[in-house]
Structure 1
Amino acid sequence: MKHLFLLTSLLLTALLGGGCASTPTPAKTYTPVDTGHAFLWEVKDGHGRGGTAYVVGSIHMGREGELTLPPAMETAFAKSDALVVEVDVGKVDANSMAKLVMELGRLPEGQRLSQRLDPETVTLLSRAADRMGLQLDGLESLRPWLAGMVLSVTELQRAGYQQGHGVDRAFLGRARDAGKAILELETAEGQVRMLAGTPDKLQDLMLRDQLRRTQEAGAVLEQLVAAWKAGDADGMASLILQGANDATYRPVYERIFFERNAQMATSVDALLAQPRTHFVVVGAGHVVGPQGLVALLQKQGHSVRQLPRTPAAE
């Protein structure tokens, strides 16, 4: 594997937050429901502390010009004192992170990926490598979590998707230009260590969940983009979290989404204790569903509403 390619895979770990790497194809073709809303929620502190948070569900990769930001997001960002993201990629030291990925993502000398996987996963992995024109031998030295990332990024890049055109990257650029503070809910190192620290059997299951898709990752991401543009939170949840209803794959979603959602909700609640306005951008998969960030903040007693794409005149 080329050094730079592995680094790119690392920095795209947040794709898991958007569901792009682990979402099987829905049984039926998804048709977006245009709600008239942005993928944006206004959260008002419900405990008299005075804080406000605007929560955006992000698509982490996009094609150039595809993810046009609706006026409501631009307005909410302008009102905000600080930007809050999963990871500020601008702070990541590329060399250190590449070294960490190689340290945590490679198998011990003499071990092979296919020897550590369930036979069903091996079959799916071989088919995926053939479909993408990759040599399976090139993945054999990698642990399952990194092999999955390499496959996902390869598919998405070939479909024309780039991280630089994602929603969170757009707001990171705007925040730096405007001199706004940038806060992190997680770190790149923390995300990598979370994946690397996943038990072997669960890593196998994560990879199998990803590989059992019948559509390529680019086609799945097109559906996610359509849901994002339509403000269709229910549709987004059905696309990203479908596998959570399967008892076999439920532990994957607990690890990648629900445990982290609870941690994010605790962090956002602490921000709401401040009489300031924070603009929070996290992967769309963390925002939606009954265990998503929006639902958790409501359960904490905060006032939450999804905003229309065009803000009302003040």
Structure 2
Amino acid sequence: MKRPSFLPLSLLLVAWLGAGCASTPTARQYVPADSGNAFLWEVKDSHGGVAYLVGSIHMGKPGALTLPASMEAAFSKAEVLAVEVDTTRTDPTTLQKLVLELGTLPEGQGLSQRLDPTTRELLERTATRLGIAAQGLERLRPWLAGLLLNNLEFEAAGYKQGHGIDRAFLDRAHGLQKQVMELETADGQLRMLAGTPDKLQDLMLRDQLRREQPPAEIVEALTSAWKAGDADGMAALLLEGAKDATYRPVYERVFFERNVQMANKLDTLLAEPRVHLVVVGAGHVVGPEGIVALLQKKGHTVRQLPRDAATP
């Protein structure tokens, strides 16, 4: 079995929902509703503070996603780029060591012993489909087993790290020596996963493994929603599983709790005199519990911007 390969931490959380994808068990055809907007929101507070919020797709293929004019303008105007984690500055060796330290079970314990029978059956079926031995996953905790399987599946479909929206902004910001700040930390994201109770880790893994859509279809649907500026469609693709009471705790842990934390940080940034461009996973932006909705509840004026706007 392959050892867990290094991934930027911005992808680790996304991996639980199939690289930020639909977790509904039934495959369905997504038809984008073109809004004419970018996946970009302008946020203003009552004192004149301004920030721009981008929903990102974390992985893709080279050239699959290009930035619309309004995003280019927002990036040019912003003095600071804020991201979940600056993956360009994360040390792979240190991270790999921490992943294995937090994600490996003690000697004598096995993954299969910790899983619900339904999850165990799904795990064996997925491992067989990917051509790996389920026995090779036995020393891994559920969250790391899910990450490894997800990584193998999407890499086999041709999707790799480094071709997402957040990475494109990071590379350009560093090239221009623009200030980059992190809303979270790689260490913190890992410890959040590792600190998840066992029963919830089982649910996270089961939610990932019950997915029916092939990786190519999933990423294509997400890409279509992103290009169309279809916030409601993106929410349906990413967060439909939250309507199921069984899986609701997974979304609370991976999305909604962190949305509150990131919205609070963005609220603080709006008080600064500088303009920020904030880039987070698309699943954190949309829906009634997304960052856009949370900022509106705080009294900020938020509007989605047209794709072709030369100035935000």
Give the alignment's Cα RMSD to 1 decimal: 1.8
Q: Where does residue 32 of structure 1 map in the other structure?
A: 32
Q: Shift of the alpha carbon at 1:310?
A: 0.5
For residues 1-314 of structure 1, what are the structure 2 equivalents within 5 Å? 2=2, 5-8=4-7, 12-16=11-15, 20=19, 23-25=22-24, 28-46=28-46, 48=47, 50-311=48-309
In structure 1, distance between residues paired with 2:245 and 2:144 = 24
Given that 1:18 and 1:284 are in contact with CA atoms closer than 8 Å, whether structure 2 keeps it comes out as no
Identity of aligned residues (%): 63
Q: Shift of the alpha carbon at 1:172?
A: 0.2
- Superimposed CA distance per residue, residues 70-120 of structure 1 (whole angstroms, 9 cap, x where no aligned partner): 111111100000100000012212221111111100011111111110000
Of residues 33-42 and 211-220 in structure 1, the stretch that sits farther from structure 2 once superposed is 211-220
TM score, norm. by length of structure 2: 0.95
Given that 1:72 and 1:311 are in contact with CA atoms closer than 8 Å, whether structure 2 keeps it comes out as yes
- Alignment CA distance shift 1:51-1:17 (3 Å): farther
Q: Give the aligned residue type for 1:101.
A: V
The runs of 4+ residues in structure 1 deviating greater than 4 Å are 16-19
In structure 2, distance between residues paired with 1:313 and 1:256 = 34
Q: Shift of the alpha carbon at 1:312?
A: 5.0
Given that 1:17 and 1:284 are in contact with CA atoms closer than 8 Å, whether structure 2 keeps it comes out as no
In structure 2, distance between residues paired with 1:187 and 1:104 = 16
Residue correspondences, number: 311
Q: Shift of the alpha carbon at 1:216?
A: 2.4
Q: Give the aligned residue type for 1:15.
A: V
In structure 2, distance between residues paired with 1:15 and 1:186 = 14
Give the secondary-structure state (helix, strand or coil) at the position aligned to 1:115: helix
- Alignment CA distance shift 1:230-1:38 (3 Å): same
- Alignment CA distance shift 1:82-1:19 (3 Å): farther
Given that 1:61 and 1:161 are in contact with CA atoms closer than 8 Å, whether structure 2 keeps it comes out as yes
- Alignment CA distance shift 1:97-1:192 (3 Å): same
In structure 2, distance between residues paired with 1:280 and 1:37 = 17
Of residues 301-310 and 15-24 in structure 1, the stretch that sits farther from structure 2 once superposed is 15-24
**Structure 1 portions without partners, runs of 5+:** none
Q: Give the aligned residue type for 2:23.
A: P
Of residues 25-34 and 284-293 in structure 1, the stretch that sits farther from structure 2 once superposed is 25-34
Give the secondary-structure state (helix, strand or coil) at the position aligned to 1:64: coil
